[in-house]
Chains A and B, each alone.
Chain A
Amino acid sequence: MGKIKVVHYINQFFAGIGGEEKADHRPEVREEVLGPGLALKAGFKDEAEIVATVICGDSYFGENIEEAKKEVLEMVKKYNPDLFIAGPAFNAGRYGVACGTIADAVQNELGIPSLTAMYEENPGADMFKKAVYIVSTKDSAAGMRDAVKKIVPLALKLVKGEEIGSPAEEGYLERGIRKNYFTDKRGSERAVDMLIKKLKGEEFETEFPMPDFDRVPPNPAVKDITKATIAIVTSGGAVPKGNPDHIESSSAQKYGKYDIEGIFDLNPENGETSHGGYDPVYANDDLDRVIPVDVLRELEKEGKIGKLHRYYYSTVGNGTAVANAKKFAEEFSKELVADGVDAVILTST
C-alpha cells in the first residue's frame, strides 16, 4: 500500500478565512494542507498524505444541509481518498454537526472510512456518535495536540481494517455497540462489589449505562372510523398454521404479510403463534386473542368501521432488536399507506 490518501474537512475559521462574519462561506476545495491539517500531517508522518482540504462555512452548511452535503460529497469523491477526516470541531456546535453530517455521508454514501473529532457535549456528538467514530477532544482548540494523538492511530486502523479497541483504549465516544467479554469475577460478585462501593459513596462503574429511549407520540384520532380502513399489525407472532415464513420464535429477523380475506374467525386449524416469549397455549387455541379478526369482522358487518384491511403484518417481538423492528415497520408502513389504510391496530403480547 502506498501513501494513504486523505481528504480533510474544516470550517472557515480553521481555514483562516474568518470568523462568524465569514460563516456563510460556500464549499471550496484546495489542494493544500491547512490549519489543523498541519498537525495531522505531522502525526501521519509518511503513512498518509492530505491530498485536499474541503472548506465550508458553518452557517452555510447548517442552513443548506442537503445542498452543502451534495457539494462536499462531489468534492471528496473527485479525489477518491482512502480516508476522510472532518474537524476536530471541539465545542463549536454548528461545526460539530457539519463534521458529523459529512463524515456520516462520506462513509455511508461513498464507502470511504471516515471519522471526526469533537468535545463530548458538542450537539454533533450525540447526533452522530452511533454513525461514525468520533474522537473525544477537549472543549477548545487548545486540545489540538491531544486530539491529533488519538485521531491518527484510530484513522490508520480504520483504513487498514484493523480491529478497533474499546472507547477507553482508542479515545472515541462510545457508539453504543454492545460486545460480550469474559471477566475474572462472576456477575453476583461484581454486583456485591458494586453495591458496597455505592453504599460507601465511592466511585463505581455501571456495566450498562441507561439508554435514552425513543418516545413515539400517538397520531391524532381517526376522524371518521366508520369510513376507515383498519389494518392489524402485531408483534405477537400471529401466523397462519405452520408458520410458512418460519418467523423466529425469538430475535425475529423478518415479518410476514398474511391474507385474511374470507376469514371471519381464527381457530386452531388456521392460525397459531410463533412467539417464544409467552404461554402460547391460549393463542394457539384461538388466535383472535392476539389479533382480533373476529371482532373486527363483526364491526365491519355492523358498519362501525369502514373495513378490515385484507392483509395483516406480523412479527415476533420476543428478544427482537429495535433496529430490526424499525426496519420492518419502515417497509410495511409504506405498503399500508399505498394500500389506503387509514389506521392500524397494533397488538403486542
Chain B
Amino acid sequence: MRLELGHVLIKDVQFGSETKIENGVLYVNKEELIKLISEDEHLASVDVEIAKPGESVRITPVKDVVEPRVKVEGPGGVFPGILSKVDVVGSGKTNVLKGCAVMTTGKIVGFQEGIVDMTGPGAEYTPFSKTNNVVLICQPVEGLKQHDHERAVRFAGFKAAAYLAEAAKSLTPDTVEVYETLPFLEGIKKYPDLPKIGYVQMLQTQGLLHDTYVYGVDAKQIVPTIIYPTEVMDGAIVSGNCVSACDKNTTYHQLNNPVIHDLYKEHGKTLNFVGVIITNENVYLADKERSSNWSAKLAEYLGLDGVIISQEGFGNPDTDLIMNCKKIEAKGIKTVIITDEYAGRDGASQSLADADKAADAVVTGGNANEIIKLPAMDKVIGTLDYIDTIAGGFDGSLAEDGSITVEIQAITGATNEMGFNKMSAKGF
C-alpha cells in the first residue's frame, strides 16, 4: 500500500468571504462553516475563532484537535466509516493542510478536557501552540446527555476539518512525502537481512471520553488486528477521548503518529517496518487478557523480531501495557514501550500502576503530576469555568488575576505516549 502525502503549507489563517487557500494563507468563510456545524440538532450554538502561534490566547477546555486532510486520488475518503464510506484508505494521494488544525471547545463534557496556551511557558508543552488553529466553540442543547454531547462535538471537529481540507483538493502541494508498505510476504522478501519490526498501538477504550474509533467502530469492540501504517494517515483511527488531556492521543496525533513516521525513516535501512497491530485498553480483566494474548499472538504470527508498544492514558491501562510487554517479550520478541508517569507533584512516588522486569526498555513522556504556573492570557477562547475541576486542576488553580497553577496533565498533549514530544524524565 502506497500513499503520497502532499503537504500544503499553511502559514496563516484568516477569515474571508470564501474558504480557500492562497499563497499559504487559509481563508475561512466563518458563516459557511458555522452553518455546516450547526446542522447538528444536538448543538445549540456554534462559533469559530482563530488562534495563532505566539498570540496571548488560551483555549480551554480543549476536546480534540484535528488536522485537515483530503483524499485527492485513490479509494475512499478521510475518516472512513465516520465521514466517508468504509472503503479501505491509505493508498493514492492525500493532501494535508500542514501547519493548521481544527480544535474543538465549549461546555465541558467530563473532567478530562485540556488547556492550550499559544504563548508563554504552557506553550512549550503542547504541540498545538505551533499550529494555526481554527477553534470551534460548540455549546450543546439544554439537557443533552454526556455521551451525545461528546459525539456531537467529536463530529463537529471532523466535519470542520474535512470542510477546510476541501480547499486543498485541487492544489499542488508544496512538498510530497511517499510512504509504502508492501503486502506482508513481499515486504519480508524485499529486506531479508533486516530485523522485522512491528508497532503495537494501544488505543484508549474505557468509556465516555475514553474511546477511540477504527473505521467508525468503537475500539472497545475489536479484537487486536493488523492495519497498514498508511491507513492511519487517512484517518482510519480517530479520537473520542481526553484521558487526561496530557496523554490523550488527539485525532491530530493519530493522523501524524510519530512512531509510524520514525519507523518509516529507518525502514529499509536499519529495520524492516512490517506493519501496525492495534489493540485496546478495556476495563475488564478478561478483555485485558484477551487483547494482550492477541497482540502477542499476532506479533509472533508475523515473525517479528522487535516491536514498539505505545500506551494511551495511565493507571488502569498501565496493566494492559505491562501485559503486552511481558507477553510479547515471552515470545522472544524485543520490546520498547512508550509511557508517561504519575510520580506525584514531588516526583517521589512510583510512576506506574504496574511494572515487570521484562519492561527493561522504556521511553517516557514525563511526569504528568509536575506543577506549572501559566500566566494570564489577553484572550480566552472557551471558558475558564472548569479550571479547578479538570484533571490536573485543583481548588484554587485559577487565580483572580487569570493565572493558572495546574499539573501539566491539564495541558493537551503534554506527556504524549506516542513520543510526539521531546520531553522526558529522569531519576534524581
Residues in chain A within 8 A of chain B (CB atoms): 130, 164, 166-167, 174-192, 194-196, 198-199, 204, 206-211, 213, 246, 248-251, 253, 274-281, 317-324
B contact residues, range: 35 or more
Contact A206 B362 (CB under 8 A): yes
Q: List 27 A-B contacts (CB under 8 A).
A: A166-B428, A176-B348, A177-B343, A177-B348, A178-B347, A178-B348, A178-B351, A179-B370, A184-B422, A187-B420, A188-B338, A188-B363, A188-B418, A191-B338, A195-B306, A195-B334, A199-B306, A211-B355, A246-B394, A250-B111, A250-B409, A251-B344, A278-B207, A280-B110, A319-B368, A319-B392, A319-B409
A211 neighbours in B (Cβ, 8 Å): 350-352, 355
Query: Residues 361-389 of chain B: 1 if any A CB is under 8 Å from the residue's CB, otherwise 0?
Result: 11111111110000000000000000011
Contact pattern, B 249-266, Cβ under 8 Å of A = 1, otherwise 0: 000000000110111011
Contact B345 A207 (CB under 8 A): no
- Interface on B for A, CB 8 Å cutoff? 110-112, 124, 145-147, 195, 197, 206-210, 243-244, 258-259, 261-263, 265-266, 270-271, 283, 305-308, 310, 314-316, 334-336, 338-339, 341-352, 355-357, 359-370, 388-395, 407-409, 416-428
Q: Is the CB of A322 within 8 A of B197?
A: no
* Bound form: Cα–Cα A164–B427 in Å: 12
The minimal Cβ–Cβ distance linking B412 to chain A, given in whole angstroms, is 14
On chain A, the residues within 8 Å of B365 by CB distance are 187
Residues A174 and B428 in contact, CB atoms below 8 Å apart: yes
A248-B394, A249-B389 given. 13 additional CB < 8 A pairs? A174-B428, A180-B423, A187-B421, A188-B419, A190-B424, A191-B259, A192-B259, A195-B334, A210-B359, A251-B369, A251-B409, A280-B111, A320-B342
Chain A residue at smallest Cβ distance from B208: A279
Q: In the bound complex, do residue B425 and residue A178 qualify as a contact, i.e. CB atoms below 8 Å apart?
A: yes
A61, B422: Cα distance in complex, Å: 48
Number of A-B contacts (CB under 8 A): 257
- Complex Cα distance A322/B368, Å? 14
Q: Which residues of B contact A180 (CB under 8 A)?
A: 366-367, 370, 408, 423-425
Q: Which 3 A-B pairs have the closest CB atoms?
A: A187-B419, A279-B207, A321-B344
Q: Is the CB of A195 within 8 A of B391?
A: no
**Dominant SS at the B interface?**
loop
A182 in contact with B369 given A188-B259, A199-B305, A207-B364 (CB within 8 Å): no
Min C-beta distance of A107 to chain B, whole Å? 15
A186 neighbours in B (Cβ, 8 Å) = 258, 262, 419-422
Report the Cα distance A320→B244, complex, angstroms: 13
- Bound-state CA distance A191–B425 (Å) is 14
* Nearest-Cβ distance from residue B70 to partner chain A, whole angstroms: 26
CB distance from B200 to the nearest CB of A (A): 12
Q: Which residue of B lies closest to A209 (CB)?
A: B427
With A278-B210, A280-B208: A188-B262 Cβ-Cβ less than 8 Å: yes
Contact B346 A177 (CB under 8 A): yes
The residues of A that contact B266 with a CB separation of less than 8 Å are 192, 196
The one of B111, B270, B345, B417 in contact with A321, judged by C-beta atoms closer than 8 angstroms, is: B345
Known A-B contacts A250-B391, A276-B390; the reply to A281 vs B424 at CB < 8 A is no
B329 CB to closest chain A CB (Å) equals: 11
- Flag if B428 contacts A319 (CB, 8 Å): no
The CA-CA distance from A272 to B181 in the complex, in Å, is: 49
B206 in complex: contacting residue of A176, A196, A279, CB < 8 Å = A279
Inter-chain CA distance A130–B347, complex, in Å, is: 12
CA distance A180 to B426 in the complex (A): 7
Q: Is the CB of A167 within 8 A of B427?
A: yes
Cβ-neighbour of A192 out of B308, B343, B418 (below 8 A) = B308
